[in-house]
Amino acid sequence: MRRLFLGRDAYRQRRLGDAIRVLPVLFAVLAVLPPVWLPQYFSYARGAVWLAASWALTIAATAVLHRAIGRAKPEDEDDA
Amino acid sequence: MTPETLGAASVVYVALMFLLAHAADRAAAAGRWRWMDRPVIYTLSLSVYCSAWTFYGAVGYATRSGLEFLTIYLGPGIVFAGAWWGLRRLVRVARLHRVTSIADLISSRFGKSAALAALVTLIGVLASTPYIALQLQSVSMALSAFATSGHPLPGNIALWVAVGLAAFAILFGTRNLAANERHHGVVIAIAVEAVVKLAAFLAVGAFVLWGIADGPADVLARIDRMAVSAGGEGWQIRPERWFTLIALSGAAVMVLPRMFHVLVVEASDENRLRQAGWAFPAYLAAMSFLVLPIAVVGMDLLPRGSNPDLYVLALPLSQGRDTLAALVFLGGFSSAMSMVVVSAIALSTMMANHWLVPLWLWLRQTALSEPAQAREDLGTLMLNARRLAIVAVIGAGWLYHRTTGGTTALAAMGTVAFSGMAQVLPAMVAGLVWRGATRRGAIAGIVAGALIWGGAIFLPSLGLAAPPAFPAGIDAFAGAVLLALAVNLLLLVLISLVDFPDPTERLQALSFVHAIAPDAAASETAPAVQAEALLTLAGRIWGNDHALEVFRKAAENQGKSGYLPDLTPRFLADFERHLAGTVGAATASALMARVGGRGSVTVAELMEVAGEASRAREDNRRLELTSAELARTAAMLRESNEKLTVLSAQKDAFLGQISHELRTPMTSIRAFSEILMEPDLPAADRSRFAGIIQDEAARMTRLLDDLLDISVLESGRAQLKPGVVNLHDLIERALAAGGASAAGRDFAIRRNPLAEHLPVITDPDRLLQVLINVISNARKYCDAGEPAIRIDTRRSPQGGTEIDIHDNGSGIGPENRALIFEKFARLDDPSRAGGAGLGLAICKEIMGFLGGSISYLPGQGGACFRIALPPRPPRRAENAENATG
Amino acid sequence: MTTGVDVLLIEDEPSIAEAVRFILSREGWQCEQWPEGSDALQRIRALAPRLVILDVMLPGRSGAEVLADLRADPDLQALPVLLLSARGMANLPQGADRTLAKPFANADLRAMVRELLDAG
């Protein structure tokens, strides 16, 4: 049974899970949309810098979130 | 640096990998695998994604098409950003069902369909063959970069590479048939190769970036100069290709057979995705962004017309950096080697499990559970099927390389493989998120997608057909991929919507989508199946020891002792899944059906199960635990109650037995002593009768000794006299003692004297007593025409010692197995009457006293007793001298 | 149809059988032995003894079963039977003319056999 309201830790845990779900979608948007939308603009050095920067940020964010989710005790994974 | 030196270096390198893999396998076998079983090894093993295509081809790709090469790494980057969300689910479900390959996953989800498994295997083999050819080609191509003019390369480098890699894959990929498809040696070797290729690429990248060019800013400036240069229009991003390739590579990182293998099958738990989720993209990013400087600097510096696929080697060579070039060569060799080896292992598992073994089962309609003496070893058969498949896969790659012989751009071949395997993706994803996806839908989708791929991408890549004509402005490759995937998905959805799947399929769908392991249908009883038949089957596949261990654990979980668990639906479902971990779901299901005539599930039962499953999900987990605990206790109680009932019936008989056993010799003694008192007895009779009296008195003494012995052992007052003894000597003595009392019959004794030389720390006299008892029992009761006794000894992994004593008689029936270790338990069988039944009861007490156990091993085709000793005997509080007071 | 056999001893312990045969033959009785419960009835029919001495604990068929078979057989039901029991005198099967507990005094054995043979 899912409880209706959670304590602070469990609540944080849920929001961490949300963030982890948003991450790939965000990165997909960053990596796909600009080059598809403005190919002229993103085909050369600017595109390389853009992709490198957004990928590096994504990797860093993933690392931070994955560490955080590892520290917290895994809660009931009914919704996995 | 000549090609010959490099060739020699790579031979040495491969030899090192052999040693490493061998050491890792040995460590794993000895249980010292833990320290190697780290997330970082898992992450590094994922780098088989970066094959020789990445190592050499990515630079060529970038030279021709600019940033588009990045799509091949951005796709996995996106997928791994969602590792904890999406991939974890895939790994969890796959491990729940002990999936052995991508084909097995799809087949298992869609009702354990053998046809689907064979189909996915076919696509995998078709798509991978050019890809493997590419790896072989890359090695000879790289060597040619070192060749000086007028000094031709040896002809068949690719062949030798193929032979070497096939040997590696066979040695470490098919060493044994484990219940999970994990290959520690191979994984360690791949992880080390991942480090080598990363180091090599970082070295050459840094050299180009700062040694030739003036740092990143200079490289960016050079890139921008491309925009206005002659070859610059190739660099223009084409939106439809950009999008399609990212989607394809994202799919490929999950469904390529080798990627599925390292990502899912070799994963020991889903938790390591936490590290791999960021570390693997970091690895990919490092490799891929260093491609850019190498590509642009190569274009600026190297003469026009040199092969851009070889810039990685040509740049350091042109600057006179031979050592760096050699390191790069080893890096490229590493990527080719790990790709070929893992692909061969993954594909051979698929081919063996889904093509060869089902074919063999179909050809031979015999019952598989017969414990015939000359039974074939199924495990060896399956391993040989895999070895054959490895040779076939790598051989096909080599043949492809031989016949095309071409130097088509490396990148094209890679995308062909990606787009082929991607046809599996819709079925996989739909199977994991949508319970409504059905087998017929999946087959239709995959077949249609694969046909479009074959006609519009695969055959044109071989030059056997023209690429399809799309409206101007749409890229032929991207168009074909999108068309194939769209038709695939559409058919999957449409046919699933109108379909009504069979119950097995619906059970599997429920289990995959909700990541729960349901029992088989509750009312699914198969009285024809005996636990022993299943044990025999398991023994033929995994080997006896592993099978016995699995069965013992299952029995223990049910609260039973011994090796034969109750055939509950849960046990049957678990057992089938365990089997599936070795031979794939479809074959496991077929094997179970063959052994036990396992009844098929009906829709009504299915609804019952589904209802139970969803209720169980809502139930408090603790409740489930409690009830499992209760069931275990109940089973334990039931077992001891059964034993008690039988024992109490025997209890009455016990005193009568003792009385009988004592009165019998007493009768002869009394009668003959009275006769001896008669005066006119011939002297010969007199001495003969005295002899009989003596024998009978000795028999009574023996019986009393046994009774005293067992009462001392039972009360725990026995003295343990530990010592070190050679097991071989002890067995010799036991056989000699038993031989003296054996009556008439000639027994063949089968032993392995070399294996018997094991030092054992125990009470030698007590162990000898047990050995004599068990051996003389076998001599007394073995009813075979040509009786034989086999003695096997071995050291257990925990350091204990095990002695198995088999005979080839008819064994002991299941109804008597619980009784033979009880006092005076004579079996009903008339041939087994006679002789006080104290022997095995004493053995059991002694073994408990020595800290070990004696048990009856079922399913060995005869009576078989296992005597198990701990590494050292237990210390008893009662025995400790209380000198300190 | 007599074969001259006075006593058929059905007993599986060789040393006891030897003792009994020795004791009875010293009295001049003709004595044969059979070591198991199975086929005991056929043996009795073939030898047609005047008396059967039957051990209770036998391999194959127990002495009780042999006795029951014998009493159910119209030809043999009148045959005198002396039962030898190694389990004391409790829980003995019905239908025997006399019972002797092991171990026994040789004189008792002789007396009982004589009594049964004279009566028959």
Q: How many residues does chain C have?
A: 120
Secondary structure in 3-state letters for B508-524: HHHHHHHCCCCCCCCCC
**Collapsed DSSP state (helix, strand, coil) of residue B229:** coil
Q: What is the pLDDT of residues B691-712, one digit of tens each?
A: 999 988 888 887 888 888 877 8
- How near does any CA of chain B get to the CA of C1, in Å? 33
Contacts of B694 in chain C (CB under 8 A): none
Higher pLDDT: B30 or B302? It is B302
Percent of chain B with pLDDT over 70: 85
Tell which of B237, B248, B283 to mutate to test the A interface (max A CBs under 10 Å): B237
CB-CB under 8 Å, B67 with A58 = no
Does pLDDT of B260 surpass 90? yes
Q: What is the pLDDT of residues C46-91, one digit of tens each?
A: 888 999 999 887 777 788 888 888 888 888 888 899 998 887 676 6
The confidence score (pLDDT) of residue B291 equals 93
Reply yes or no on domain C7-119 having CATH 3.40.50.2300: yes
Q: What is the pLDDT of residues A12-59, one digit of tens each?
A: 888 888 888 999 999 999 999 998 898 888 888 889 999 999 999 999
Contacts of C88 in chain B (CB under 8 A): 659
Task: Please report whether residue A67 resides in a domain.
Answer: yes
The confidence score (pLDDT) of residue B822 equals 72
Nearest residue on chain B to C16, alpha-carbon basis = B668
What spatial distance separates the first Cα and last Cα of chain A, rounded to whole Å? 14
Q: Are B836 and B824 in contact (CB under 8 A)?
A: yes
Q: Which amino acid is at B638?
A: R
B450/B351 Cα distance (integer angstroms): 18
* Residues 6+ positions from B197 with CB-CB distance below 8 Å: B47, B50, B55, B331, B332, B334, B335
Does pLDDT of B827 surpass 60? no
| Average confidence score pLDDT of chain B | 81
Average pLDDT of span B671-688: 88
Q: Does C42 touch chain B (CB under 8 A)?
A: no
Q: Does B305 touch chain A (CB under 8 A)?
A: no
* Residues 6+ positions from B693 with CB-CB distance below 8 Å: B668, B669, B672, B673, B676
Residue A77 binned pLDDT confidence (cut-offs 50, 70, 90): very low
Q: What is the pLDDT of residues B522-573, one digit of tens each?
A: 334 444 456 777 777 777 777 777 788 888 888 888 777 777 787 777 777 7
Tokens of B504: 């097995």
The angle, 0 to 180 degrees and rounded to 10, between the axes of the packed helices B291-301 and B311-318 is: 60
Does pLDDT of B244 surpass 90? yes
Q: Does A47 touch chain B (CB under 8 A)?
A: yes
Domain that includes residue A64, residue range: 45-72
Tell which of B72, B78, B617 to mutate to test the A interface (max A CBs under 10 Å): B78
- How near does any CA of chain B get to the CA of A15, in Å? 13
Q: How many residues does chain A have?
A: 80
Write out the DSSP string of chain A. Answer: ---SS--HHHHHHHHHHHHHHHHHHHHHHHHHHHHHH-HHHHSSHHHHHHHHHHHHHHHHHHHHHHHHHHHSPP---TT-
* Residues 6+ positions from B60 with CB-CB distance below 8 Å: B307, B308, B309, B310, B311, B409, B410, B411
Q: Which CATH number applies to B3-363+377-412: 2.60.130.10, 3.40.50.11400, 3.20.20.70, 1.20.1730.10?
A: 1.20.1730.10
Q: Do chains A and C touch (3 or more CB pairs under 8 A)?
A: no
| For chain C, domain boundaries | 7-119
Considering its fold, how many domains does chain A have in total? Answer: 1
The confidence score (pLDDT) of residue B468 equals 79
**Collapsed DSSP state (helix, strand, coil) of residue B602:** coil
CB-CB under 8 Å, B696 with C102 = no
B288/B885 Cα distance (integer angstroms): 75
B382/B352 Cα distance (integer angstroms): 7
- How near does any CA of chain A get to the CA of B485, in Å? 19
Average pLDDT of span B99-128: 91
CB pairs under 8 A between A and B: 116
B668/B675 Cα distance (integer angstroms): 10
**Collapsed DSSP state (helix, strand, coil) of residue B176:** coil
Q: What is the pLDDT of residues B717-774, one digit of tens each?
A: 778 888 888 988 888 888 887 655 545 567 788 888 888 888 888 888 888 888 888 8
Q: What is the pLDDT of residues B354-363, one digit of tens each?
A: 898 888 877 7
In degrees and rounded to multiples of 5, residue C34 shows phi and psi of -135, 130
CB-CB under 8 Å, C57 with B671 = no
Q: Are B86 and B79 in contact (CB under 8 A)?
A: yes
Q: Does B833 touch chain C (CB under 8 A)?
A: yes
Tell which of B85, B243, B433 to mutate to test the A interface (max A CBs under 10 Å): B85
Contacts of B235 in chain A (CB under 8 A): 43-44
- Least Cα distance to B758 among B730, B788, B728 occurs for B728
Q: Does A69 touch chain B (CB under 8 A)?
A: yes
Percent of chain C with pLDDT over 90: 18
Going by the DSSP 8-state scheme, the letter that residue B370 receives in this structure is -
| For chain B, domain boundaries | 3-363+377-412, 525-604, 657-715, 723-869
Lateral strand order in the sheet of B853-856: B748-751, B788-795, B801-807, B864-869, B853-856
Peptide bond into C103 cis (omega under 30): yes
Tokens of B480: 């074909």
B556/B553 Cα distance (integer angstroms): 5
Query: Residues 214 to 233 of B: which have CB under 8 A from any A CB?
Result: 220-221, 223-224, 226-227
In degrees and rounded to multiples of 5, residue C83 shows phi and psi of -95, 135
- The CATH class of the B657-715 domain is mainly alpha
Name beta bridge partners: C89.
Answer: C87
| Average confidence score pLDDT of chain A | 82
Q: Which CATH number applies to B723-869: 3.40.50.720, 3.90.470.20, 3.60.120.10, 3.30.565.10?
A: 3.30.565.10
The confidence score (pLDDT) of residue A62 equals 93
Q: What is the pLDDT of residues B158-200, one digit of tens each?
A: 888 889 889 988 888 887 666 566 788 888 999 999 999 999 9
B3-363+377-412 against B657-715: fold identical: no
Task: Please report whether residue A52 resides in a domain.
Answer: yes
Average pLDDT of span B394-399: 91
Residue B511 binned pLDDT confidence (cut-offs 50, 70, 90): confident
**Listed range (B297-311, B631-645, B724-738) with the worst mean pLDDT:** B631-645
